[in-house]
Amino acid sequence: MDEKRYIRLGVNVDHVATVRNARGIAHPDPVRAALLAAEAGADGITAHLREDRRHIVDDDIERLMNELELPLNFEMAATDEMRDIALRHKPHAACIVPEKREELTTEGGLDAVKGHNYLVPYVRELVDAGIRVSLFIDPEKDQLDAAVSLGAPVVELHTGTYCEVEEGAAREAELHRIQEAAAHAAAVGLECHAGHGLAFDTVAPIAAIPAIVELNIGHFLIGEAIFGGLEGAIKQMRDLMDRARAEE
Ligand code: PXP
């Protein structure tokens, strides 16, 4: 597929660590999963180091940086602790996400409008260190405009609502919102990614949006790996993305 039409797949290995941590032993190892994901066709690996270290821990980031050839997308909250860790490791990319201690997963996008002044120094320091910064935001025009004014080169559109709502009119409306946001991102010069909650039955319409160049997918792939293996799950996802792209 020509480079312009290709859409990258970032595999999020957080929940390999969730299973490992349930036993407090070394197995299953998220770094091993990342290396396998690379062989299966992933273009990058994503890992979210949360404040409470509930899945990925500091040593995982260290090992991913040392052992992985693929680019690492370091998901992080905008805190001094995480900024310092990012600056120490200098991953290829950092995706700034909102983080609430009590949530099960990243529930909504970052509020780049209200949080603008707070976010300015974090974005600037990471960008200055040569890290490709993305902001995980809801698919809304004002959030995209705020990303531009913050100097973030990339946004990741939150697809959680699109995946959660009932199939039919509600899903179509959410898809439309993401399509409009992706078009706006391209118009204002932002590189556009998307992710959260994507599965085999929801990925194609998102992968078909021409302005979106990367999807980050975790929970579904790791869950599906229980039944058919991680390699097969990634290959099937890759195939669905490629087909959607070719048909677009
Ligand atoms: N993108 C971001 C910014 C996320 O926080 C997450 C979840 O950690 C994902 C993508 C992947 O979501 P999921 O695990 O539901 O595929």
Q: Pick from 78, 185, 158, 61: which is nearest to 123 by CA?
A: 78
Query: Residue 234 domain-assigned?
Result: yes
Q: What is the four-CA torsion angle of 66, 43, 135, 169, rounded to 10 degrees?
A: -150
Residue 132: CATH number of its domain: 3.20.20.70
Determine the pLDDT at residue 100: 76
Of residues 39 and 103, the one with the higher pLDDT is 39
pLDDT digits (tens, 9 = 90+) for 180-195: 999 999 999 999 999 9
Question: What confidence category does residue 4 fall into, taking pLDDT thresholds of 50, 70 and 90?
Answer: low
Query: Residue 69 domain-assigned?
Result: yes
Average pLDDT over residues 44-58: 97
- Tokens of residue 163, six digits: 């995946």
- 219 carries an active-site annotation: no
Query: Residue 227 domain-assigned?
Result: yes
Strands 154-158, 132-137: pairing is parallel
The mean predicted confidence, pLDDT, of the chain is: 96
Which region among 12-21, 102-111, 210-219 has the lowest average model confidence (pLDDT)? 102-111
Total domains in the chain come to 1
- 174 carries an active-site annotation: no
Determine the pLDDT at residue 247: 86
Question: CB neighbours (10 Å) of residue 57?
Answer: 17
- 27 carries an active-site annotation: no
d(CA 30, CA 159): 24
Q: Pick from 192, 163, 164: which is nearest to 179 by CA?
A: 192
Q: How far is the CA of 128 from the centre of ligand 1 (A)?
A: 25
Range of the structural domain that residue 81 is part of: 8-247
pLDDT digits (tens, 9 = 90+) for 103-139: 777 678 999 999 999 999 999 999 999 999 999 999 9
Indicate the top mutation candidate among 11, 105, 137, 201 to test ligand 1's pocket, ranked by most ligand atoms within 8 A of CB: 105
pLDDT digits (tens, 9 = 90+) for 154-175: 999 999 999 999 999 999 999 9
Query: Residue 216 domain-assigned?
Result: yes
Query: Residue 2 domain-assigned?
Result: no
Query: Residue 109 domain-assigned?
Result: yes
Query: Residue 15 domain-assigned?
Result: yes
Q: Which atom of ligand 1 is nearest to the CA of 221?
A: 16
Q: Which atom of ligand 1 is nearest to the CA of 156?
A: 3
Query: Residue 36 domain-assigned?
Result: yes
Determine the pLDDT at residue 102: 66
